[in-house]
Copies of this chain bind each other. A is one copy, B any other.
Amino acid sequence: MLRIGIIGYGYWGPNLVRNFADIDGATVTLISDTNEAALKRAQAAYPMISVTPNDYDVILSPTIDAVAIATPVSTHYPLAKRALENGKHVFVEKPFTTSAQQAEELIELADRKSLKIMVDHTFLFTGAVKKIKQLIDDGVLGRLFYFDSIRINLGLLQKDSNVIWDLAPHDLSIMDYLIGCNPIAIAATGTAHINGFEDVAYVTIYYPDNLIAHLSINWLSPVKIRMTMIGGQKKMLVWNDLEADEKLKIYDRGVEVETKEESYHARINYRSGDVWVPRLEQVEALKTEAQYFADCIYNNLTAINDGVAGLRIVKILEAIIQSLKTGGCVICLEKIPAALRTVNLAPA
């Protein structure tokens, strides 16, 4: 039985407790939060689980095998480091760390101690992303032309960070998983209007083979939009995550250039066929991911969202911030070594 301690019972922590408490082969034994009110809520909701105001009670406990960290990103590195040093597997919220250097240090430490790191890229475990991954891998979409994502809403502005660090990790981890290769370069623009941190930003990411990705994120939008379009040579799709029922639409539409030998002129053909709305798996993504964390530990698997995956996202975030500071200059990403992409097995 995997004994898990949860650090942080704020916005996301309750979801971690609920899901880790519900998986096979694991049990949640201790919850910490430095905020008294949060701790009381934890105790009321889970009378059988112990609570403590001291995060290090969790990290140092000899009866805990793994910790899940749901605290502000600036604390991820120190907490994860001490947890690994004390022999605990680590499940940590996104983004992994505030710098690539921190991420690399944690990965190295976990490797040395034969411990697992999993970064909470929850979306990888949704029915929508799983279905899109399958469509791409099966060649249904054909060669990818573009990946365009809009993630906007009103609030919640953070007091010590910009919209990039808050919202972009979702799309970056989804792109990383679906596209399956490292980007070449990045250009990002944005502005701050409220409290000095960018609240509107636009990111272009260049991938090999003319694949262009773009991300529009905004904390000041009057409407909430969660929409991703992926255009391929054969088919195109729109994923609207706010739709209750028909989240994913696959369009048999496309453009082709027909070049006839007997002619010097190329003809552009448009194809506009049926639309297909596949039924998606209805599981809660976080529950699948929590179970996957336990399975990776039990069976010594390399997770699709391991520390290395987390590091890739942090490296891209660093490049985005760097470009943002210049007003949009292109930042080359050859710094992400190919070795940073390993062949991992997705959960069944």
A: which residues have CB within 8 A of B?
A: 47-48, 145-146, 148, 154-155, 157, 159, 185, 187, 189-195, 199-200, 202, 204, 206, 210-212, 214, 216, 218-224, 229, 231, 233, 236-238, 242, 244-246, 249, 251-257, 266, 268, 270, 272-279, 326-330
Q: Is the interface of A mostly helix, strand, loop or mixed?
A: strand
Inter-chain contact B204/A189, CB cutoff 8 Å: yes
Inter-chain contact B145/A200, CB cutoff 8 Å: yes
Inter-chain contact B189/A187, CB cutoff 8 Å: yes
Inter-chain contact B330/A159, CB cutoff 8 Å: no
Inter-chain contact B268/A154, CB cutoff 8 Å: no
10 contacts between A and B (CB under 8 A): A195-B257, A199-B255, A222-B236, A222-B253, A223-B238, A242-B244, A275-B276, A275-B277, A327-B330, A328-B328
17 extra interface residue pairs, beta carbon distance < 8 Å, beyond A202-B204, A221-B231:
A145-B200, A145-B220, A154-B270, A155-B255, A159-B268, A187-B189, A190-B212, A194-B268, A220-B231, A222-B231, A222-B236, A223-B229, A224-B244, A274-B277, A274-B278, A274-B279, A275-B276
Q: Which of B187, B251, B254 contacts A327 (CB 8 A)?
A: B187
* Cα–Cα distance between A329 and B323 once the two chains are bound (Å): 10
Count this chain's copies in the assembly. Answer: 4
Which of A157, A190, A191: most chain B CB closer than 10 A? A191
Inter-chain contact A255/B220, CB cutoff 8 Å: yes
Contacts of A257 in B (CB 8 A): 194-195
* Cα–Cα distance between A268 and B233 once the two chains are bound (Å): 43
Contacts of A276 in B (CB 8 A): 274-277
Contacts of A233 in B (CB 8 A): 193
Inter-chain contact A273/B279, CB cutoff 8 Å: yes
Q: Which of B237, B272, B330 contacts A154 (CB 8 A)?
A: B272
Inter-chain contact A251/B238, CB cutoff 8 Å: no
Q: Which of B189, B246, B268 contacts A195 (CB 8 A)?
A: B268
* Cα–Cα distance between A266 and B278 once the two chains are bound (Å): 29
* Cα–Cα distance between A189 and B146 once the two chains are bound (Å): 12
Contacts of A279 in B (CB 8 A): 252, 272-275
Nearest residue (CB) in B for A246 is: B275
Report the minimum CB–CB distance from A257 to chain B (whole Å).
6
* Cα–Cα distance between A275 and B237 once the two chains are bound (Å): 14
* Cα–Cα distance between A255 and B159 once the two chains are bound (Å): 13
Inter-chain contact A191/B212, CB cutoff 8 Å: yes
Inter-chain contact A327/B210, CB cutoff 8 Å: no
Contacts of A48 in B (CB 8 A): 47
Contacts of A47 in B (CB 8 A): 47-48
